[in-house]
Amino acid sequence: MSHSRFNAIDIVLNRTDFDLDIQTLAESDNISSFYGKNVFNDASMQKYLDEDSYLSIKAKIQSGENLTIDLADIVANAMKKWAMDKGATHYAHWFQPLTGKTAEKHDSFFTLDHEGLPIEEFKGEGLAQQEPDGSSFPGGGLRSTFEARGYTAWDPSSPAFILEVGDGKTLCIPTIFVTYGGDALDHKLPLLKSQSYLENAAIPVCKLFDPKVEKVITTLGWEQEYFLVDEALYHARPDLMLTGRTLLGKHSPKGQQLDDHYFGSIPERVYAYMRDLETECHKLGIPVRTRHNEVGPGQYELAPMFEEVNVAVDHNQLLMDLMDRIARRHRMRVLLHEKPFAGVNGSGKHNNWSMATDTGKNLLSPGENPGKNLRFLTFFVNTIKAVHEYADLLRASVASASNDHRLGANEAPPAIISVYIGSALTKILNQIEEGKSVDEDAVTRVLDLLSKIPNLELDNTDRNRTSPFAFTGNKFEIRMVGSSHSCAKPMTVMNTIVGHQLKAFYKEAQELMGQGMDQAGALLTIIKRYISEFKNILFEGDGYSDEWKVEAERRGLSNTPNTPDALTSYVSDKVKTLFNDSGVLNMNELEAHYEVMVENYILSVQIESRTLGEMCINWVLPAAIQYQNVVADNIIKLKDLGMSESSYTAQMDILNRISTNINEIKIRVAKMTEERKNANALETAIEQAHAYCKNVRPLMDDIRIYADRLEYLVDDKQWPFVKYRELMFVR
Ligand code: ADP
Ligand code: MG
């Protein structure tokens, strides 16, 4: 269904068909009383499994060992019982294909037994493995259609949950998605591999400080930004419906200049949405805690407590799905696009990343005890070193057509990767670097100095919001990730590069100690060298400024504002070696990831460009011509009445300007179609992507300028598309 502009505004202004009184949960207002009620968590496992089975499944999950089919049968049966007690009729393997979204295939518990009698059944086989007909999911070159089979396999490290859609309830089992040959067709398997790669690299380093460490996990706390628009307005904009962003639209005289939306009071209708969303999240064990208005009018943010990275990624994927579904319940649409409105802040998804041990230590916590801080320094410095070494890969991991509008557009971090660590830590790194020699004395001096670090975890006041990669107290915050992205890719990259780096560090430390150097001296020697090697990536200034672009170039840091350029680093020899040596992605998988990203870029720009063409030819030009007729009629009438030419100079001027803009649009839409054809005719996908980037996209920007001029010239009553002011302020 689509609406005309005024019809849509009417609907919004007279809306009564949404519920402001969303009841949180009938049972109680107390979140802890229903938190995780739809998750097959530890408590449900204990309740539905006998003690022996419970203990063995727990042990298997901890160790990552394979389950025996007997145990899988027992667990499946318990899950089925639990799910059916909650009203579920179906189960689904829930997975994350390379589209970056989630997918599920439902099967009922109901089946017929060998005598044809109806029963409810869920076996270990069904839990462990399924074969969805996934041949239409992007797989790069991994599957040709004749062997298009893909398999999903249970990931016991992320708990199963019940998804409620209307009255339907489905038991969802988080799974990986692989080809017949075992290549990953999803984001989860590489993420799991990267996590264990980092763990293996980090444990020996941890043991230098505490022999009791047996397990290291990476932690992720994401912050999800989004826009909300009324569903009627959304349906009055073909561009929002088809591309998730506005392809044209003159800026509203009042936008975000007054900063009156940021952290402002939350509109009642939005508040109802947020509460509803949070309740659904809590039932699913997604520990969301923070909500507020963001900078753009109609922009908001939601953030949870951090979790182990695999679960946190699943939770964010699930959240994006819930956000969309619940918005519809409130007659709204959620926009997860990185840049729905030109001239208004875009949306990102900060990924707060750290590492933690089974002894309860956050490895990036500076702490208060200076004697322990060498451990902090080790992990801190190795992380920065890894980012310095693989900045291009990190940039590539967040590349997409939609995120290109954000990165480097003076509102979000630039496309140049730099690291912000704050003045206190900068000072410390400088002093370590300048330390004369790392004899006993120097070590003591450095460690003394560390004791002077104020309590950094609390003292975050001098955070720099313009940095793409910032140390914020006890974690690194990766700010380049786009709001619509899966966190899996940047997290996989972080784990892999830091794991790789820690291995190199440990090897060198062993060598130095083998030569008789004491441990602290050896570690500091390496740390000191690293600091001087990565120093040029540290930047504390304004990342949005033009001076930084010049300065960054002088420092030799790369600046790749567009996706096709950024993606080339995915298939560089250095990155191939990294993924191959770490075992996180084999060469087929890496190639597939790359191909899917290139393909997504082409398709996104292609769809946008076609949509823009249609909007111009079918709506903008007819509206302009209609108004042109009105003005022309007026001039003829004035002439007929014998009025002097000077009495219709304004009309003539308007007429001329309308004609000019119509022509400019017409010419460029034709040229844009031509350029698309040229691009499509190119041999390789990456050539096509470059052509879309260099030849199609600039034309879209040009067309917008002329269309927006027409919006300004044409009678408001005749303008077909909901205007920016209405999208942002009609509620
Ligand atoms: P903001 O960046 O908006 O100021 P905070 O810094 O308070 O917000 O927290 C942002 C996110 O960082 C939250 O999701 C929080 O859970 C997460 N976070 C805090 N500590 C860690 C950690 N050790 N590892 C990963 N994420 C963390
Ligand atoms: Mg943040």
Q: Which helix (H) or strand (E) holds 5?
A: helix 5-13
- Residue-level pLDDT at 141: 62
Residues 442, 482 within the same domain: yes
| Cα(364)–Cα(255) distance, integer angstroms | 39
- For the ranges 226-230, 294-298, 502-506, the lowest mean pLDDT is seen at 294-298
Structure tokens, 325: 């579904």
Residues 29, 58 within the same domain: yes
Residue 140 has pLDDT above 50, yes or no: yes
Please state, as a whole number, how many other Cβ atoms lie within 10 Å of the Cβ of residue 161: 26
- Structural domain total, the chain: 3
Residues 316, 200 within the same domain: yes
pLDDT digits (tens, 9 = 90+) for 173-188: 999 998 888 889 899 9
State how far the alpha carbon of 531 is from the alpha carbons of 362, 536, 658, in Å. Answer: 22, 9, 60
Residues 518, 633 within the same domain: no
State in Å: Cα 245 to ligand 1 middle. Answer: 29
Residue nearest to atom 11 of ligand 1 (CA): 221
State in Å: Cα 102 to ligand 1 middle. Answer: 25
State in Å: Cα 348 to ligand 1 middle. Answer: 15
Question: At a CB cut-off of 8 Å and minimum separation 6, what does 6 contact?
Answer: none
Task: Give domain status of residue 13, yes or no.
Answer: no
State in Å: Cα 648 to ligand 2 middle. Answer: 57
- CATH number of the domain to which 649 belongs: 1.20.120.1560
Q: How far is CA 166 from the centre of its chain?
A: 27
Residues 557, 609 within the same domain: no
**Ligand 1 mutation pick, 223, 293, 352, max ligand atoms within 8 A of CB:** 352
Residues 85, 167 within the same domain: yes
Structure tokens, 251: 């800026």
Higher pLDDT residue, 18 or 501?
501
Task: Give domain status of residue 4, yes or no.
Answer: no
Which ligand ends up closest to the CA of 353? 1
Task: Give domain status of residue 8, yes or no.
Answer: no
- Residue-level pLDDT at 148: 59
Residues 655, 520 within the same domain: no
- CATH number of the domain to which 93 belongs: 3.10.20.70
- Residue-level pLDDT at 438: 44
Task: Give domain status of residue 169, yes or no.
Answer: yes
Report for 112-116, 178-182, 450-454, 655-659: range of highest mean pLDDT: 655-659
Residues 388, 419 within the same domain: yes
* Residue 544, amino acid: Y
| Cα(623)–Cα(644) distance, integer angstroms | 29
pLDDT digits (tens, 9 = 90+) for 570-626: 999 999 999 999 999 999 999 999 999 999 999 999 999 999 999 999 999 999 999
Residue 169 has pLDDT above 90, yes or no: yes
Residue 95 DSSP one-character state: E
- Residue-level pLDDT at 246: 97
Higher pLDDT residue, 130 or 315?
315
- Residue-level pLDDT at 423: 83
- Residue-level pLDDT at 433: 86
Q: Which helix (H) or strand (E) holds 613?
A: helix 587-615
From 61, 25, 28, 27, select the one nearest 42 (Cα to Cα).
61
State in Å: Cα 474 to ligand 1 middle. Answer: 9
Task: Give domain status of residue 591, yes or no.
Answer: no
- Residue-level pLDDT at 450: 56
Residues 355, 247 within the same domain: yes
- Residue-level pLDDT at 679: 98
Residue nearest to atom 6 of ligand 1 (CA): 472
Structure tokens, 531: 């600091």
Task: Give domain status of residue 592, yes or no.
Answer: no
**Closest approach atom of ligand 1 to CA 306:** 16
395 pLDDT band, cuts 50/70/90, is very high
Residues 179, 204 within the same domain: no
Residue 488 has pLDDT above 80, yes or no: yes
State in Å: Cα 158 to ligand 1 middle. Answer: 21
- Residue-level pLDDT at 445: 56
Task: Give domain status of residue 1, yes or no.
Answer: no
Residues 416, 380 within the same domain: yes
Q: Which of these three, 541, 561, 585, is where a domain ends?
A: 585
Residue 722 has pLDDT above 50, yes or no: yes
User: CB under 6 Å to ligand 1: residues?
Assistant: 219-221, 223, 303-306, 352-354, 362, 472, 474-475
| Cα(708)–Cα(333) distance, integer angstroms | 24
| Cα(9)–Cα(666) distance, integer angstroms | 29
Q: Which of these three, 530, 556, 585, is where a domain ends?
A: 585
**Closest approach atom of ligand 1 to CA 303:** 14
**Closest approach atom of ligand 1 to CA 356:** 23
**Ligand 1 mutation pick, 475, 476, 478, 481, max ligand atoms within 8 A of CB:** 475
**Closest approach atom of ligand 1 to CA 474:** 23
- For the ranges 203-212, 261-270, 687-696, the lowest mean pLDDT is seen at 261-270
- Residue-level pLDDT at 134: 60
State in Å: Cα 200 to ligand 2 middle. Answer: 29
Task: Give domain status of residue 289, yes or no.
Answer: yes
Residue 424 has pLDDT above 60, yes or no: yes
Q: What would the DSSP string read from start to end of 394-455?
A: HHHHT--TTGGGTTTSSSS--SB--EE--HHHHHHHHHHHH-S--SHHHHHHHHHHHTT---
Q: Which of these three, 186, 220, 238, is where a domain ends?
A: 186
Residue nearest to atom 17 of ligand 1 (CA): 221
- CATH number of the domain to which 350 belongs: 3.30.590.10
Domain span at 69: 21-186
Residues 89, 126 within the same domain: yes
Q: What percent of the chain has a predicted confidence (pLDDT) above 90?
A: 66
pLDDT digits (tens, 9 = 90+) for 377-387: 999 999 999 99
126 pLDDT band, cuts 50/70/90, is confident
